[in-house]
Structure 1
Amino acid sequence: MFSSLSVRNFRLFVMGQLVSVMCTWIMIVAQDWLVLSLTGDSGTALGLVTVAQFTPTLLLTLYGGRLADRYDKRRLLVMANLAAGAVSLLLALAVLSGRAGLGVILVAAAALGAVAAVEMPTRMSFVGELVGSDLLPNASALSAAYFNAARIIGPALAGLLISGTGSTGTVMLLNAFSYLATVAALLMMRPEELHRSPVPRQDDRITDALRHVTSRPDLVMPLALAAVVGLFGFNFPLTLPLMAKTVFHTGAASFGLLTTAVAIGSLFSAISSTARRGRPRAAVVTGSALAFGVFETAAGLAPSFPAAVVLLAATGFASVSFAQTANHRIQLGSDPAFRGRVMALYTLILQGTTPLGALIIGQLCEHFGARSGLYAGGLVTMVAAAVALWAQRRTREETASRSPQYVEATE
């Protein structure tokens, strides 16, 4: 389960990320709670903040992946974390001074989104350089495990801190300084022990990676599913605070508990995927998407707060199962020379579609209630997964007469 932790550089990476990601989740809860407090529980306002944060991902992530393929990934991550820390510090000071209205929050969210457009594809492709191809599935699963462990601890602490101090600014200040943990871990690594990816030619372009992906049907299908799930299914930053405040009429601590429930399920899913040793089959990716749609729909229909906690935990398990299987199928199936750009495309599709999805789901919640955001996303995901299963079955039938190697590649 922990084989990749035998690599010193990866151990440092995990320790730094655990601190930073935990505080990032504390920040997310504080930010969402502040927005709802400033706007009278407006789902549209919360959707606008999500749009501001993820629009740079939509616009800049492919360029960020090109930077990751061309330049030293460790140095890029150091600069990205320092930039994120600076933006977070300015936002925290604005909140503490009472000058942070919705406009300031939107600007800060957009700035952090721009940094994330470079940081995310760089970090995802850097894991391969830390441990090599053989340990990549295990390291990727452990990365998901620490991320979701932080999601458990962070929101729970955020609820307690907000309730105890009565200030979201203090929580945001803690997040600002947490980025230094990641920077310290990166600087302590031994560069000579990294498994460097091939350096592309200076005239390599983003379109080269796009042509590589479109020539591979086995990469197109998980990316198409990721687009649907990212657009409609991964709407928890918007729906959970609304569920807590407008459906169950609870406070910040209970909102943190809903987020923690998703994180607990996600953590168990990440731990279970550490056993994977190779590239997952297409049917596994599609089946996990179908399971996610079923559980998210059920969570939207939960009759009580305890039922919502249980169903959200199951939803979290299925969400990470899908994200991990799609990640592994795409990353392990792509050419290493294009890996930064391919993972940027994956990030763009899975998370860059969130701005449009936030507007759609936000309007849906505004008119039909917070529950509609969950079960609508679940139903759309179920339909997409069913279509993908049908397409995969039809492709297998049409190619049954071809060579076994071709059939194996499409699976």
Structure 2
Amino acid sequence: MLNKITKGLFILLATIPLLKENFNSMIIILCALFTLISCFTSPQNIRPKKSTLFLMTPFFLFLIYELLSGSMNDKTISRCLPFLIFPLIYDLGASNLGINNNIQRKTLFAFQLSTLLQSIIYVVFFLMKNPLNKFFASSNNIPFFREYVAGNYWFNIHPTYFSSFLLVSFTISIITLLVYNKRKLFNAINAILMVFFILLFASRMIFILMVATLLVVLGLRILKVSRKQKLVIISSSILVGIILMYPFKEMLGKRLKEITTEINKPVSGEYYNSTNTRVVIFQCTYNLLKESPFFGYGDNLQKELDNCYKENYPDSVFYKKQQFNTHNYYLHLIGYGGWLFFITFMCYLYYVYKRMKISLLGVVLLFQLLAINITENFLSRHYGIVLFCFLTSLIIFTEAKKQDI
């Protein structure tokens, strides 16, 4: 009974799209607690593998830095706990509880259902408060739906982070459908719905990654089929794509066009947008990195960024209305801990890749999440770091094989 409850908690880890941060943390803690109890009560001598320590590198990296710097920022350390907890519980779970490919399939399916359910809840919540004609409306190139649910729902998930859930669910479906030809009906419907919601949230990086993923997976599928089947796959994909994108053509067009029209326009007063603010952020980050001490700025990095905004753009209000971090996790690592810190973290990512490359799904998801870090501090927020640690640990410790995904 204890093992069954613990296995259930492992599957519940996949409900992250549905849960507020504190509820999600409670499930993680419960899963860790039950896993440890199961190991202690097992007649076998269950211990984590030595290799698992390498997967915990980021936690110890941040912990040691905070100890040596003397700041001991509780928020920084607690935010990195998923790097410690997920590899540990999945290692022990795989050894003692039978957390295997079967559990992996159930967990990924639970994640897809959770993402779909949350998307539907967003739609219902929106339509209860707004007329239908506002569903595809936008303001200042930002979808009204996206802004409304992000600002008014009972708990906040940044639109890019929720879009990353949509991207992961889409990727699971498209690979299972086109590469492994399994669960066709569900995965076809889910993939279409995920594309619809990705377009609705209009996160540019997520959209680009979705298109790139689709092209790669379609390419892998086309290599295995006859010429007639290739024509059917390509033509049907183009047709479905046109149908899905048609309602969003104006909104998506404006979002993509903004990159070229606004990139050289300076922020001033009340005038700023997602494109020119990122230029400002990059310029300030670049200037800080040129002057960065050997061990970085530590927890003062955000303060240094805010000072840069204030000194160089005193007439703008963009940094006064909300806080803007580096919006690039790799630059954040250099600014926080210096080049040695960054190189160590890159070695960790390479080790994760080496462990995940046995799984096509694992490799695609890993590169997607790493790409999001180019435009977001994805691994500096709860939903980003939990999603990353959850997916990497799940795939690594269930030793997913291509035919078993």
TM-score where L is the length of structure 2 = 0.26
Structure with higher RCO (Cα < 8 A, 6+ apart): 1
Considering fraction of residues, name the structure with more helix: 1
TM-score where L is the length of structure 1 = 0.26
